[in-house]
Structure formats: C-alpha cells, structure tokens
Amino acid sequence: MTENNRALIAATVGAVAGGIAGYMLFTDRGREMRRRLEPAIEDFARELVQLRGTLNRAMGVASEGWHVLNEALGERGSGPSYGTPRQTNPF
C-alpha cells in the first residue's frame, strides 16, 4: 500500500466520521436519533460492567478451587493463580 493510498483512505474515513458527527449533532433528525441511542448505549455499558464483575467473581472462585485442590493434595505453589478479584467501575 503506497503512501498516497493511505492518505486517501485516511481522508475518506475522516470525511465519513465528520459527516456522521455533523448529522448527529446539527440536524433535528440526528439529535432525535442520538437521544434514542443514548439509553441503549448506557444499558450496554451497564451490562458490560456486570459481565466484568461476573468474570472477576468466577476467576476468584477458580483460584480458590485451585488453592483447595493443592492443599488437599499437599502441593504448594502449583496451578494457576488468578489473584484477588476486584471490580472497578470505568464509568
């Protein structure tokens, strides 16, 4: 891919992104669409946070299971360790 092709692709992507942003911000129909999309995006973000918490809890349970299994077999320091599960909220 030549430098000219990259520049053309970058300009095209920038023009499309600018057109979408302009439509969403400056037209009545775009504002209406944005207002309808915002709750869906917030719900999606909330679901991602809940999924992250669920995965952290599952990793904690798996880690505890390995510790119990290793103690039952009399082994120390073998098997995967997933650390202490902790949840942070990126939003």
**Entry pTM:** 0.50
Q: ∠ CA 42-50-82 to the nearest 5 degrees?
A: 140
82 and 60 Cβ atoms separated by less than 8 Å = yes
32, 46, 62 from 23: Cα distances, Å? 11, 27, 48
Three-class secondary structure of residue 78 per DSSP: coil
**Per-residue pLDDT, 73:** 87
Three-class secondary structure of residue 89 per DSSP: coil
Report pLDDT digits (tens) over 40-68.
999 999 999 999 999 999 999 999 999 99
Report pLDDT digits (tens) over 21-34.
999 999 999 999 99
31 and 24 Cβ atoms separated by less than 8 Å = yes
| More confident of the two residues 44 and 77 | 44
